[in-house]
């Protein structure tokens, strides 16, 4: 039987990021033909793809963005930046290999292979990399049909942030904690997590960096908001941790003394309940997961919080693998049901693929300013 | 029935460490009567007690040792040092409360309560704190009868180091790793761990700080010894990690970039085996446990080793509680069997209780120099 398909001879443009052995980052758009969909596959016309912080490691990660400039290339203009030599060694495996970028997106199915014919013409969200492109071929199982009336923008970010927001309370429960701390809490992800925790009755301590961010979260119903620009924030954090019993935190910042501050607050809260001095610190186990790198500097831990602690990396994909298909399926179903409410994303700017590699735009989204989020529309 | 006992009206001296609210550390010897042994209890004449690094937090921890001096007190001379004001807050629970010190020791049972009469006259090792004393009353279950011919010095350190050395490979096995890294590996504990790993066929990477320490461990059969004073030590460490497959480390140092170096070596070893670039680092889970604080400065992690990592505190007592009585019983039985071989401790100096608080002696053992270990003999 022939695969049912229409109009698959098309080719489109795809965004590629290359780090050269000579020490350049090169961002360009090159022609790409997705090819015919095989059994169980579809071809999607991409209509929306968010630039997530988790895309930046691949997109621009090692480059010195102060050196961004445009040069002429064989396929049109190329955005170029220098990569400091000392960062090249860690990149050996990607040197001179063009990398496709973009963890997730949404669009309309324009062709389908055997068994996936029912998806033709449907609007879907997609997870799987290489989404900063005009045409994407992928397995139908990596797509989720959007609810009626949902736009591509609504469905473009239905995986990374929503599944991360659902995973944090899931980690909390599975590891025996009873409340959560989250930093950079006024981000798209942070506001989503706040809505999840309010709906599910999970006590959440939101840590933000300005009075405006604090007001935003309080306006969205958050009970515990700590503004680290306030002079009394350490005492306020300890109070919130003591009241909620939070012993696990998810930290988007990574560098500096943020994780250290969280561990001290947890230990101080535990010490309030203690009746006698313990030279090795409290027995209360304290966990910080670092899932982002808003501050790329080193993490500093003064260890003045006893021995019952752990700081580690958190990455979504291995966690989903660990909890297994059924648990992940339930999460995905919830995201689809609450796509335009709990899991709504907001964008401050929509750009074309070409604009996405414009030096000024690159610098803007690389600042990762809270609340500023860029959506690529490859049809523009 | 009357408890069987002899000569229990004695009193002895006990070493006390007090941090005053005014900001002084005060070390003194004061008279102490252990009292009559209750059912299941014994009174032991302490004949040997090691000064372990784990005792120092309580003994001298917060004080500025450059200010050590002797003053006259009501019960004789008192060793005094200043405690920097900013460290006092963390010590609220012990301020102005005299603390007894000494995690373990050995001696001869001189009195016993009901059910423990068989121990009278026997030489025992003890675990339970307050061992820097002349007479110690404690439950018989916290004592282990020493093998015939063993001296008090042989049995004085039969708990902390031996159970720690046995716990490290136990953690390795329970958490699914297949080889170990250990830092400060030329310590009493490190040499013990090397003997355990050689006997049990556990691949061990020993990290030391000088050619002399490296030679010592190689002379004792260690296959993998990394000397961080050698210029090529990073490459040698990565080679050793790649050969052994070590993905868990126990670090006695704590401060600085040691843990960071270990995680980089594990990640570099994992990357050697990888076939393609992974922007988030390898999937290989890397664990460092910090169990000591030879460097009291902050732990610095540059996070250039992906997201599959964890750094945490390790403390013996909660680990033993977690694995349960039977596993701990098997460990203790092995220690007793191999007390003067695998688990032999060496001391560079034996001192009286009075000498143990002499300023010069305090400064000497507080340096925690590898290989320099002090034993207190309270009968002197």
pLDDT at A157 exceeding the cut of 90: yes
Mean pLDDT across the stretch A144-165?
A: 94
- Of A129, A142, A77, nearest to A100 by C-alpha is A129
Percent of chain A with pLDDT over 90: 82
Model pLDDT, residue A279: 74
- d(Cα A358, Cα A327) in Å, to the nearest integer? 40
What is the rounded average pLDDT for all residues in chain A?
93
Radius of gyration of chain A (CA): 22
Interchain proximity A314–B299, CB inside 8 Å = no
pLDDT at A278 exceeding the cut of 80: no
Which residues of A fall within a CB distance of 8 Å from B310?
Answer: 310-313
- Of A68, A57, A193, A54, nearest to A127 by C-alpha is A54
ipTM of the modeled complex: 0.88
pLDDT by residue (tens digit) across A229-273? 999 999 999 999 999 999 999 999 999 999 999 999 999 999 887
Mean pLDDT across the stretch A16-43?
A: 95
Interchain proximity B97–A277, CB inside 8 Å = yes
Contacts of A197 (CB under 8 A, 6+ apart): A169, A180, A203, A204
Task: Show the tokens assigned to B364.
Answer: 């000497």
Mean pLDDT across the stretch A124-136?
A: 95
pLDDT at A283 exceeding the cut of 60: yes
Which residues of A fall within a CB distance of 8 Å from B238?
Answer: none
Q: Give bridge partners of residue B176 from the DSSP assignment.
A: none
Model pLDDT, residue A8: 56
Mean pLDDT across the stretch A285-306?
A: 95
Which residues of B fall within a CB distance of 8 Å from A291?
Answer: 307
Q: Give bridge partners of residue A108 from the DSSP assignment.
A: A45, A123
- Edge-first strand order for the sheet with B24-32 is B64-73, B76-82, B24-32, B12-19, B99-100
pLDDT at A1 exceeding the cut of 50: no
Model pLDDT, residue A266: 97
- Of A190, A189, A232, nearest to A207 by C-alpha is A190
Model pLDDT, residue A223: 97
Which residues of A fall within a CB distance of 8 Å from B58?
Answer: 279
Q: Phi then psi for A135, rounded to 5 degrees?
A: -130, 130
Model pLDDT, residue B1: 39
Model pLDDT, residue A2: 43
Model pLDDT, residue A74: 81
Interchain proximity B303–A254, CB inside 8 Å = yes
Percentages (nearest 5) of helix, strand, coil residues in chain B:
35, 30, 35
Q: Phi then psi for B216, rounded to 5 degrees?
A: -60, -50
pTM score above 0.95: no
Residues of chain B under the 70 pLDDT cut: 1-9, 370-371
pLDDT by residue (tens digit) across A65-117? 999 999 998 878 999 999 999 888 778 888 999 999 999 999 999 999 999 99
Residues composing chain A = 380
pLDDT at A356 exceeding the cut of 90: yes
Chain B interface test: which of A100, A312, A316 (most B C-beta within 10 Å): A312
Question: CB-CB: which of B301, B302, B315 is closest to A308?
Answer: B315
Interchain proximity B313–A315, CB inside 8 Å = no
Mean pLDDT across the stretch A307-311?
A: 97
Interchain proximity B318–A283, CB inside 8 Å = yes
Mean pLDDT across the stretch A198-212?
A: 97
Interchain proximity B99–A277, CB inside 8 Å = yes
Question: CB-CB: which of A90, A283, A304 is closest to B304?
Answer: A90
């Amino acid at each position: 039987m022939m695969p049912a398909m229409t109009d698959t001879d098309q080719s489109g443009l795809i965004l590629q990021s290359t780090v050269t052995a000579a020490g350049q980052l090169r961002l360009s758009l090159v022609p790409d033909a997705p090819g015919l969909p095989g059994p169980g596959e579809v071809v999607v016309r991409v209509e929306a793809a968010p630039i997530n912080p988790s895309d930046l490691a691949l997109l621009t990660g090692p480059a010195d963005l102060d050196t961004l400039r445009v040069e002429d290339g064989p396929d049109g203009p190329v955005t170029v930046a220098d990569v400091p030599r000392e960062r090249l060694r860690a990149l050996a495996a990607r040197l001179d290999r063009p990398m496709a970028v973009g963890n997730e997106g949404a669009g309309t199915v324009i062709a389908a292979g055997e068994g996936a014919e029912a998806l033709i013409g449907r609007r879907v969200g997609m997870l799987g990399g290489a989404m900063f492109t005009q045409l994407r071929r992928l397995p139908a199982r990596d797509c989720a049909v959007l609810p009626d009336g949902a736009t591509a923008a609504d469905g473009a970010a239905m995986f990374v942030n929503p599944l991360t927001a659902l995973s944090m309370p899931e980690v909390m429960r599975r590891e025996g904690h009873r409340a959560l701390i989250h930093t950079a809490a006024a981000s798209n992800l942070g506001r989503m997590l706040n809505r999840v925790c309010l709906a599910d009755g999970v006590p959440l301590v939101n840590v933000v960096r300005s009075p405006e961010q604090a007001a935003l979260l309080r306006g969205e119903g958050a009970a515990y908001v700590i503004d680290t620009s306030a002079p009394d924030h350490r005492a306020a954090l300890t109070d919130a941790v003591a009241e909620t019993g939070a012993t696990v935190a998810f930290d988007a910042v990574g560098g500096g003394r943020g994780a250290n501050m969280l561990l001290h607050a947890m230990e101080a809260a535990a010490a309030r309940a203690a009746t006698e001095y313990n030279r090795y610190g409290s027995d209360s186990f304290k966990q910080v997961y670092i899932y982002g790198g808003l501050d790329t500097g080193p993490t500093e831990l003064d260890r003045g919080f006893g021995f019952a602690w752990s700081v580690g990396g958190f990455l979504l994909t291995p966690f989903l693998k660990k909890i297994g298909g059924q648990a992940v399926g339930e999460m995905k179903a919830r995201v689809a049901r609450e796509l335009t409410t709990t899991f709504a994303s907001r964008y401050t700017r929509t750009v074309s693929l070409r604009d996405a590699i414009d030096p000024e735009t690159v610098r803007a989204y690389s600042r990762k300013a809270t609340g500023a989020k860029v959506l690529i529309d490859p049809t523009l």
